[in-house]
Amino acid sequence: MSLYLPEQFREERESCLRRARNWLLKAQPRTTEDRTYHLFGLLWTGADASARKNAAKQVLAEQRKDGGWSQLPRLESDAYATGEVLSALHQAAGLATSDPAKANMI
């Protein structure tokens, strides 16, 4: 919305982004995909750095011993989930993709 809604709809755009941000701040993501897009959503809706940092910590807490992430708790780490998480951590939380991702880094 922030990229494609014309300027003439600025008030509507800001209202929608505010409502989405408020919903995201209350949401409880359950899967890796949920947590990843929760973090992206906080970025896209203009949530402050503190909210994104807290969401990033939740994502980092799910990192596996092999350094990756899985799509679901019962599955092993996989490239899709790991890449998605690293992208979200980089874009929304400022974690360099070359850094070893660990919960104490954020």
Q: For residue 106, what are the CA distances in angstroms to 21, 82, 86, 96?
A: 21, 18, 13, 11
What single-letter DSSP state applies at residue 72?
Answer: S
Q: Is the pLDDT of residue 103 over 70?
A: no
* Burial of residue 20, with CB atoms counted within 10 A of its CB: 0-12 exposed, 13-18 middle, 19 or more buried: middle
Is the pLDDT assigned to residue 102 strictly greater than 80? Answer: no
* φ, ψ for residue 29, nearest 5 deg: -65, 145
The pLDDT tens digits of the residues spanning 7-62 come to 889 999 999 999 999 999 999 999 999 999 999 999 999 999 999 999 999 999 99
Task: State percent of the chain over pLDDT 90.
Answer: 75
Give strand ranges (E) for 9-76. Answer: none
Which single residue is written with the structure tokens 């941000």? 21
